[in-house]
Amino acid sequence: MVQELVVAITAACSASVIYVAAGARVVKQYERGVVFRLGRLAGEIRSPGFTMIVPFVDRLRKVNMQIVTLPVPAQEGITRDNVTVRVDAVVYFRVVDAANA
């Protein structure tokens, strides 16, 4: 009887520890966490640091807030006066509002 009670209490404690650990997330300094509850935006933007979510209901999507460099492949073309030109570009962008990203 006592042994069964100890096993049941141990199982309940283990399950609760696993449930709490499943909801623990870390958001890095250059990120923001966007919380989705059942697939819809929950309206909460999580700041950098340790955060908790409801496991199996919430999803935390991390959004990078740094400046991102996107190289555009070089293209060559011929102008009206038959001069060959080569155009090369680099696009810089960053996310300002994590909820709208």
pLDDT of 57-98, one tens digit each?
Answer: 889 999 999 999 999 999 999 999 989 999 999 999 999 888
Residue-level pLDDT at 44: 82
Q: Which residues of 66-96 are buried (b: 16+ CB within 10 A; e: fewer)?
A: eeeeeeeeeeeeeeeeeeeeeeeeeeeeebe
Give the three-class secondary structure for 28: coil
| Pair 87, 77: CB distance under 8 Å | yes
The whole-number pLDDT of residue 89 equals: 94
Count of domains in the chain?
1
Is 22 a residue whose pLDDT tops 90? no
Q: Output the six-digit token pair for 92.
A: 């810089």
Supply the range of the domain harboring residue 70. 2-100
Structure confidence at residue 69 (pLDDT)? 94
DSSP letter at 96?
S
To the nearest whole percent, how much of the chain has pLDDT over 90? Answer: 50
- Residue 31 is predicted with a pLDDT of 93
Model pTM score: 0.69
